[in-house]
Amino acid sequence: MLNIGCHLSTSKGFKNMGKEALSIGANTFQFFTRNPRGGKAKDIDAKDVNELLEIMKKNNFATILAHAPYTLNGCSADENTRKFAIEMMADDLVRMEYLPNNFYNFHPGSHVKQGVDIGIDFIAQMLNTVLKPEQTTTVLLETMAGKGTEIGRSFEEIAQIIEKVELKDHLGVCLDTCHIHDAGYDLSNFDAILDEFDQVIGLDRLLVVHLNDSKNVKGAHKDRHANLGLGEIGFDILNGIAHNERIKDVPKILETPYIDGKAPYKEEIEQLRAIKP
Ligand code: FE
Ligand code: FE
Ligand code: ZN
């Protein structure tokens, strides 16, 4: 069975996200650990979380995914911003243990004018500070579009970060289809992309796919998501990725835009489940 879900709002709590996922035919989902622009995280309600865990168990959910705030920049040129990123991630990872054995995804960050190598060092330092041997959460680096000075625009940059981290067992990668298309990868031959990923990073690290179409042409370095089939990648390619045998069990998460103020996820999930490539 396809492991597919989408980004959901935490505003009504954890149990509600489980119910919402079920109502749209999803068996996984993603949520923000706190306001995506940063700020304080809500206290965890253990009862609410346990009710979600029960729903997940009863309905054979795949692994779920938390997303770090966008403001987290562990490779900023500003020391306070870097310190804040470490504190936020460490705090998020403590709270993730209420949902054991799931994933925590973050954007590697923007090096601003310091250069990629310094940026990569800072990101690795952050991970070496926050990762703990006993944690059950796997931390994922997301592949990025290469907007501005974003790090993670190539598999090589992601591999260089992982290389510098001690507790590699706690690391994985979230491949965002919109982002890698915008970074310049040609998704029309996804098996070739998987071969390249395997050579550079190792396919066993590919733990989540963000399944998004892109409003921009390949290599645009923009990062603007489109609904499946309404962008430059196209439905057939994205559907082929969703059903690719080599990443069969990897959860696929939609982060596609709302249409006329309405979430498109139920329909997109239905299409993906119904249409075999
Ligand atoms: Fe993201
Ligand atoms: Fe993404
Ligand atoms: Zn994006």
Q: 36-87: per-residue pLDDT in tens?
A: 887 788 899 999 999 999 999 999 999 999 999 999 999 999 999 999 999 9
5 bridge partner residues:
28, 253
Report the separation in Å between the CA atom of 110 and the middle of ligand 1, taken as the mean of its atom positions: 13
The token pair at 233 is 């990648």
Residues β-bridged to residue 63: none
Cα of 239 from ligand 3 centre, angstroms: 19
In sequence order, which residues have a C-beta less than 8 Å from that of residue 218 and are 6 or more positions away?
181, 182, 184, 185, 186, 232
Catalytic residue among 51, 97, 121, 255: 255
Q: Which ligand is nearest to the CA of 145?
A: 3
Strand (E) positions, the chain? 4-7, 28-32, 65-67, 103-106, 138-142, 171-176, 206-211, 213-214, 225-226, 252-254
Q: Supply the pLDDT for residue 35.
A: 87
Measured between alpha carbons, how far is 27 from 272 in angstroms, rounded to an integer? 13
Task: Identify residues whose C-beta is under 5 A from ligand 1, the ion.
Answer: 142
Q: Is 210 a catalytic residue?
A: yes
> Ligand 2: distance of its center to the CA of 142 in Å?
7
pLDDT at 193: 98
- Clarify whether 7 is annotated catalytic: no
Digit-coded pLDDT (tens) for 107-164: 999 999 999 999 999 999 999 999 999 999 999 999 999 999 999 999 999 999 999 9
User: Which of 92, 182, 225, 265 does the annotation list as catalytic?
Assistant: 225
